Structure 1
């Protein structure tokens, strides 16, 4: 993956940009002034981050794998240590599919009924490849989403969820919280 240098990243006009940020030169960003990126983040090839009015906020130690997209008018926030596997799609806006309204952004707003709702991913959330997260979803700390899942509802902390629609499978181990403390120790001294 060919990465942008620091000067190129700073010239993009992000609202905030942390240290040790790796961004592929093949990633696409829209409305950078509404995007905040923390420390130790990596955004891979062919990712699309398209910030609407609510913006996009990435915490620290975030990985966004190839072909992933974060799109919509509502706020999308990823807390520290989140990992989005390849081809994950997070939407904070969605058309009304009922047929009662027209769809797509090329149609004037008075003919559509787009839902806009914030999306939040807590600390240590991991989302498996090919999963889709819809507007208004909140994934609490430690949630794991299995590959190819459709997440339509919020998920409770340290649960493993999978399926279409995603359902609770079992509890997730919390050993990673101890590892987080070990990672942070050298930084506190």
Structure 2
């Protein structure tokens, strides 16, 4: 019985060591692969942590910039919610995507056809989507034609400092989110949010003022 218990302990110990080493190797590989991927896509970046490699669609005439301390989770095993999609960043011709310092995200999609700007100290929950366009014209006569893209509406998105956006929230075009804002999970944001407020729902509405204590 004692020998069996000892064997079980040894197996668990060896498995734990293997798991830690393999995770360390994967994270290091992710970092260097993402550095290379950023380089060939002309992404300006500070120091970052990337678990898994994000997806990039950066037009050669677009601008994509990451500040320092950015964290990206692109793997279901390491994502708290277990979502399998990778972070994806799309920047169209002439558009810009600017992400500030200390921004953490998992399985996030950001599409900039004109301009998306994120400030500093931001948390994006699993599956958050941020877009600055409708992707299609609102006139059905344009659908399935080249005019669909020409007439689609787009407007800049700005997210200021110290913002928490809950999982699966969607930030739509033309929205400015103020500093010190909390957005509930699953919310759809289609209009501006002032500083120091909590919003939630679909469509999102004001819940209460948010008091930030240092």
Please point out which of 28, 48, 51 is paired with 2:88.
48
The alignment's C-alpha RMSD in Å is 2.1
Match of 2:118 in 1: 78
Write the distance in 1 (CA, Å) between the matches of 2:130 and 2:38. 25
| Contact 1:126–1:145 (8 Å) recurs in 2 | yes
- Partner of 2:168: helix, strand, or coil? coil
Please point out which of 14, 17, 26 is paired with 2:53.
26
Match of 2:31 in 1: 4
Write the distance in 1 (CA, Å) between the matches of 2:103 and 2:148. 38
Structure 2 counterparts to residues 1-189 of structure 1, below 5 A: 2=27, 3-5=30-32, 7-8=35-36, 11-19=39-47, 21-31=48-58, 34-45=63-74, 46-52=86-92, 53-66=94-107, 68-94=108-134, 95-97=136-138, 99-102=140-143, 107-109=145-147, 113-175=151-213, 178=214
Q: CA deviation at 1:10?
A: 5.2
Which of 1 and 2 has greater Rg?
2
Write the distance in 2 (CA, Å) between the matches of 1:13 and 1:113. 28
TM-score by length of 2: 0.72
Write the distance in 1 (CA, Å) between the matches of 2:51 and 2:195. 31
Q: CA deviation at 1:174?
A: 1.2
Write the distance in 2 (CA, Å) between the matches of 1:111 and 1:134. 17
- Uncovered stretches (5+) of structure 2, i.e. residues with no partner: 1-25, 75-85
TM-score by length of 1: 0.81
Runs of 4+ in structure 1 displaced over 6 angstroms? Answer: none
- Partner of 1:11: helix, strand, or coil? helix
| Contact 2:105–2:125 (8 Å) recurs in 1 | yes
